[in-house]
Amino acid sequence: MATICRTVQESIETTYTENVESWVNKQSAKCKRSAWWKPWKWLCWLVWVLVKIITVVVYTVIQIVSRVLCHVVSWVLLVGFTAVGSVVQTWCHKCWIVDWANIHFGSDGNCEQIEDKRPSLEKPDQFVYTFICKCGKNEQHKVTVTTFNDEIAAELVRTEGLKKCGITPAVVLSDATIEVDSKGTSYLNYVFDCTCKPGGFPTKITIPKGFSDSNGLSDALKEAKKQCRSLCS
C-alpha cells in the first residue's frame, strides 16, 4: 500500500505532583497552672516539639515528540496504473501492469489469519492454517491451506486470495512438497506457477530448498522469477 509521509513535531505537557515530608523542631513555653495568688504560678519551662511538615511540590515536564503522519494514496496509484496498464496490455501480452498494480496498491487479495495453526490429522508433519481473504469491500473468502510452516502458508494463501479475486501474478507459489531420496533423506521443494501472459496457462517450476546457501522461500521465489522470465522470453 503506497503512502505519502511527513514528520511533524508537537509538545506534550505533563504535570506531576509530589509530597515532600520534613520534620522541624518547634519550641514552646509551658507554665504551671494554679491560683493567681500563688507565687509558683509564674513557673514556666521550655518544651521542644517535633513537627511533621508536608510540602506539595508541583512540576511540569514538556516533551518534544516527533510523529510520522502518513496519507494513504494507494487508490490514486491503483487508478493511474490500471488506466495506463489497460492500454499497454492491449499490444504487450507480456506486460503485467494491471495485475502488478492490483497486487501492490489494491486491497483485493489481502488475507488475514483467523485461526491459529493446528496439527494436520492427515499429514502429521504439517499444519492447517485458516485465513479470510478480501475481494473489494464486501466479498470475502475463507481459505484453508495445509503446509509446513508460517512462511509457506502465508505465500500459499496469498496466491489463493489473488486467484479468487481474479488477479493472476506472473509467478506464484502453488505447492511445497517433500521428496525422499534412496538414502531416506528428505528434501523440501517449492513449486511455482509461471504464467507468461495474463489468462495464459501456467508452467510449473520446481525449486529445491537447497539450491542456495540461505535455503529460504524468498530466494526460491527470486530464482523462480528468473526462470520464468527465461521461459517467457
The verdict on residue 124 lying in a domain is: no
Residue indicated by cell numbers 516527533: 66
Indicate the pLDDT class of residue 6, thresholds 50, 70 and 90: low
The verdict on residue 185 lying in a domain is: yes
Q: Which amino acid is at 44?
A: C
- Mark which of 24, 51, 72 sits at the end of a domain: 72
Helix (H) or strand (E) holding 21: strand 3-31
CB burial of residue 202 (10 Å; 0-12, 13-18, 19+)? middle
**How many C-beta atoms lie closer than 10 Å to residue 147's C-beta?**
23
Tell me the per-residue pLDDT of 53-85, one tens digit each, with 9 for 90 and over.
Answer: 778 777 777 777 766 655 555 656 656 666 665
Alpha-carbon dihedral sign for residues 121, 125, 131, 133: negative
Q: Which domain holds residue 53?
A: 1-32+43-72
The verdict on residue 47 lying in a domain is: yes
Q: In the structure, how many helices (H) and strands (E) does the chain have?
A: 4, 8
**Burial letters for 112-133: b for 16+ Cβ neighbours within 10 Å, e otherwise?**
eeeeebeeeeeeeebbbbbbbb
The verdict on residue 194 lying in a domain is: yes
- Cα distance between residue 60 and residue 14, in whole Å: 6
The verdict on residue 129 lying in a domain is: no
The verdict on residue 106 lying in a domain is: no
Tell me the per-residue pLDDT of 92-139, one tens digit each, with 9 for 90 and over.
Answer: 656 666 665 665 566 667 888 888 889 999 888 899 999 998 887 778
Tell me the per-residue pLDDT of 135-170, one tens digit each, with 9 for 90 and over.
Answer: 877 788 899 999 988 989 999 998 998 888 888 888
The verdict on residue 122 lying in a domain is: no
**Poorest-pLDDT segment among 147-151, 152-156, 198-202, 203-207:** 198-202
- Residue 97, by phi and psi: left (phi above 0), alpha (psi -120 to 50) or beta? alpha
Residue, of 1 and 55, whose pLDDT is higher? 55
Q: What is the pLDDT of residue 139?
A: 86
As for how many domains the chain has, the answer is 2
- Mark which of 20, 51, 72 sits at the end of a domain: 72
CATH code of the domain covering residue 201: 3.10.450
